[in-house]
Chains A and B, each alone.
Chain A
Amino acid sequence: MEILVCVKRVPDTAENEIEVDSDGADIERDDLVYSVNEWDNYAVEEAIQIVDNVGGVVTIVSLGDAESEEIVRREMAMGANNGILVSDDAFERSDGKGVATILKAVVEKGNYDLILTGAQADDGAGQIGGMLAAMLDVPYASVVNSIEVLNDAQLKIGREIEGGNQEMNEIALPCVLSIQTGINEPRYVGIRGIRKVASVDIPVLGAADLGIDAAGVGESGARVKRIDYFVPQLGEGAEILEGSNEEVAGKLIDLLKAKGGIK
């Protein structure tokens, strides 16, 4: 099976507090730690496990600036076969439809049976997989938390729906699936793994390579545009208890007792 996995480089929210910059134009990006989007990492692991079981090739693609090459390499170190970086100034500030248009061109340069994305990203909208599938006119399923290969033409997949329940479906190949976290346990990538792929060639494709009309993507093609960031003011917020841990614990115990929080 030929599998393409779309991955994105994002600020790692486990490592950073996200703050708005002084004029609200962006988040504060100095000193941010970036990593591969968590959902995408599960998608890569799933692709590798499928290929381990039924054979095939896993290709990683990332749309972003030159720095995204590092996450393509990291995901290749997990065991993916190929990597592609898609990068062009004309692609910057694309909306969801722009990103899907660019990825469609990547898909059409290959011969993929299965395309995986993460179900969402912390700075995204959970939209790329569904848009890409519609553009390619292939079936789609979102928030997928299990995949079983039935045969060359069909998968049995589970979707994580509300209440912890799972919705089982049969889906025809080729198709696009967006992957939910928890579907597997992504393997650890050590320094040695990264070193192994350090010199692997990762081709960089731009608008001309992909035959994309630059006017239809990027900022000029975007019909949905983020214009600023701000800090939400929701309600009054918590009463923050101050003092040493001992003092705070004492105050909290009084409050808990009053509210039935200590039996």
Chain B
Amino acid sequence: MAAQVFAYIEHKNGVADDTALELISAAQKIYPDASKTAIVTGSGAGLDAVCIDLSASYAEVWKFDSEALAYPNAEVIRKLLVAVLPPDAVVLVPHDTFGMDLSPGLSIRLDSVFVSDTVDFEGFEGDNLKVIRQEYSGQVSTHVLADLSAGAVINIRPGVFQPDESKSAAGQVVDKSSETGELTATRRFLEIVEAEAGDVDITKEDILVSVGRGIEDQDNIEIAEELAAAVGGVVSCSRPIVDAKWLEKARQVGTSGQTVKPKVYMALGISGSFQHLGGLKGNPFIVAVNKNPKAPIFQIADVGVVEDLLDFVPVLTEKIQEGK
């Protein structure tokens, strides 16, 4: 019997998240002949639009419509999934802040394995799925064997698998709202506090001079500011710089910061974790300056300079100023 794979669909304002179609490709890679079921939870009119849209891509779309599901509270959705999934289900979830909230506990409740933040699959060895993950911010990869004989919860890194746009499933929407059981929670959602706007809008800039841990000291931010001034760009940064309070949150590029689409992106002392790269869209020309030749940023950059940014960048800035 072909395996049954379930995909948890994230959606907003009646539109499914990009990951909805990426999970199809991931499922296909795990079980080429899998029957794929989308699980869509929510409330109201937008939910139907998402379900109908996805029925073109999934053989079945399980719809769960309830006031209690209006905001995706992981605790509530965990209860729901435990109530409705078969015991040996293989469940795919996007690895984002929702997936991180939902999945580890779900695997305990389902008594199945959990595999976090996966980037690829290389088939089965017996009951064991051979999974590829990354460690140390992508500096090294690992093969992991996960025993799927009692089911699994597998978190899929967003943006890694190609979305399956074929829309060839001709599936059906099944309303399962009556099967959820009681949806109470000990954690209650209150509100979303929107990020504060900063003094610059890095999402609108063509040239970003972005600094990371390699800047080493708050006083050195000046080095990046001088380069930005010389090239006519603005300074952005990676997460550690905001954690250290050296630059404001509005300047942070990444999944937990801003999504930017510059023409040119200069990554100075940035290792290039997937959370950082997740905020970089539009295929910019990427220049990486990093003293660590193994930094993952060099794999995706167009041009690299293996050098301490504190030594190299002042030379570059001066030469640009001379040429003007």
- The contact size tier of chain B is 35 or more
A11-B271 Cα distance, complex, nearest whole Å: 16
0/1 per residue, A1-41, Cβ < 8 Å to B? 00000000001011001111000000100000000000000
Chain B, 228-243, CB within 8 A of any chain A CB: 230-233, 239-240, 242-243
- The answer on a CB contact under 8 Å between A259 and B139 is no
A104-130 CB mask vs B (1 if < 8 Å, else 0) is 000000000000000110111111111
The distance in angstroms between the C-alpha atoms of A96 and B134, with both chains bound, is: 16
A149 within 8 A of B: no
Q: Mark A236-263 against chain B: 1 for CB-CB distance below 8 A, else 0.
A: 0111110001101110110110011111
Given A123-B136, A142-B101, A165-B194, are A229 and B141 also a contact pair (CB < 8 Å)?
Answer: yes
Contacts A18-B139, A134-B104 given: A163-B259 contact, CB under 8 Å? Answer: yes
B116 touches A19 (CB 8 A): no
Closest residue of chain B to A155 (Cβ to Cβ) is B187
Question: Contacting chain A: which of B52-60, B162-170, B294-302?
Answer: B294-302
**Residue in B143, B146, B239 whose CB lies within 8 Å of A230:** B143
Answer whether residue A55 sits at the interface, using C-beta atoms and an 8 A cutoff.
no
Contacts of A256 in B (CB 8 A): 231, 264, 287
Of B109, B187, B287, chain A has the most CB atoms within 10 Å of the CB of B187
Contact status A241-B303, CB under 8 Å: yes
Report chain B residues within 8 Å CB of A159: 97, 101
Is A196 an interface residue, CB under 8 A from the partner?
no
* Distance (whole angstroms) from the CB of A101 to the closest CB of chain B: 10
Total A-B Cβ pairs within 8 A: 277
How close is B199's CB to chain A, nearest CB, in angstroms? 15
Q: Which A residues, 208 to 241, have Cβ-Cβ distances below 8 Å to chain B?
A: 223-232, 234-235, 237-241
| Chain A residues with CB under 8 A of B288 | 238
Binds A, one of B28-36, B37-45, B173-181, B249-257: B249-257
Please choose the segment from B1-9, B62-70, B312-320 that sits at the chain A interface, where 4 or more of its residues have CB less than 8 A away.
B312-320
The complex places the Cα of A129 from the Cα of B245 at a distance, in Å, of 26
Q: Is A45 an interface residue (CB 8 A)?
A: no
Q: Does A51 contact B (CB under 8 A)?
A: no
Which residues of A lie under 8 Å from residue B108 when comparing CB positions?
97, 100, 130-131, 134-135
Query: Using an 8 Å CB-CB cutoff, how does the interface string of B86-123 with A read, 1 for contact, 0 for none?
Result: 00000000001110111111111100011111000000
Which residue of B115, B232, B293 contacts A224 across the interface (Cβ within 8 Å)? B115
Is A207 engaged at the interface, CB distance under 8 Å to the other chain?
A: no
* Contact of A170 with B190 in the complex, beta carbons under 8 Å: yes
Q: Does B204 contact A (CB under 8 A)?
A: no
B281 at the interface (CB under 8 A from A): no
B146–A161 touching, CB < 8 Å: no
A168: Cβ under 8 A from any B Cβ: yes
What is the minimal beta-carbon distance from A143 to any residue of chain B, in angstroms? 5
Q: Give Cα A255–Cα B319 distance, bound, in whole angstroms.
A: 14
In the complex, residue of chain B having the shortest beta-carbon distance to the beta carbon of A101: B108
Q: Could you tell me if B319 and A249 are in contact, using CB atoms closer than 8 angstroms?
A: yes
> With A and B bound together, what is the CA distance between A95 and B145 in angstroms?
11
Contact with A along B260-300 (1 / 0, CB 8 A): 00011010000100000000000001111000111010111
**Considering the complex, which residues of chain A in the window 44-99 have a beta carbon less than 8 Å from any beta carbon of chain B?**
95-97
Contacts of B14 in A (CB 8 A): none
Chain B residues 124 to 170 lying within 8 A of chain A, measured CB to CB, are 133-147
A141 within 8 A of B: yes
Chain A residues with Cβ under 8 A from B194's Cβ?
Answer: 165
Q: Are A241 and B305 in touch, CB under 8 angstroms?
A: yes
Assess the B305–A248 pair: CB atoms within 8 A. yes
Which secondary structure dominates where chain A touches chain B?
mixed
Closest to B71 in A: A167
CB-based contact B298/A228 at 8 Å: no
Instruction: Say whether A249 contacts B186, CB under 8 Å.
Output: no
* Contact assessment for B307 and A223 in the assembled complex, using a CB-CB cutoff below 8 Å: no
Closest A residue to B258 by CB, please name it.
Answer: A164
Asked if A166 contacts B104 (CB within 8 A), the reply is no
Which residue of B100, B195, B243 is within 8 Å of A182 (Cβ)? B243
Contact B141 A227 (CB under 8 A): no
Could you tell me if A182 and B242 are in contact, using CB atoms closer than 8 angstroms? yes
| CB-defined contacts of A231 to chain B, threshold 8 Å | 140-141, 294
Q: Which of B115, B146, B256, B299 is close to A238, meaning CB atoms less than 8 Å apart?
A: B299
B171 within 8 Å of A by Cβ? no
Known: A18-B140, A238-B299. A168 touches B105 (CB 8 A): no
B71-96 CB contact bits vs A (8 Å, 1 = yes)?
Answer: 00011001000000000000000001
Query: Which listed residue (A133, A167, A181, A224) contacts B147, Cβ 8 A?
Result: A224
Asked if A240 contacts B141 (CB within 8 A), the reply is no
Q: How far is the CB of A95 from chain B (nearest CB, A)?
A: 8
Q: Which residues of B sit under 8 angstroms from A128, Cβ to Cβ? A: 104
CB distance from A126 to the nearest CB of B (A): 5
B207 contacts A by Cβ under 8 Å: yes
B84 to chain A, nearest CB (A): 17
In the complex, which residues of chain B have a beta carbon less than 8 angstroms from the beta carbon of A97? Answer: 107-108, 113-114
Please give me the 9 A-B residue pairs with the lowest Cβ-Cβ distance, nearest first.
A263-B232, A130-B104, A164-B195, A238-B304, A125-B116, A261-B264, A134-B105, A134-B108, A182-B243
In the assembled complex, 17 residue pairs joining A and B whose CB atoms fall closer than 8 Å, in A order, are: A122-B137, A134-B105, A159-B101, A164-B258, A166-B192, A182-B242, A185-B245, A224-B114, A224-B147, A227-B145, A229-B141, A234-B300, A237-B301, A239-B304, A241-B303, A250-B319, A259-B285
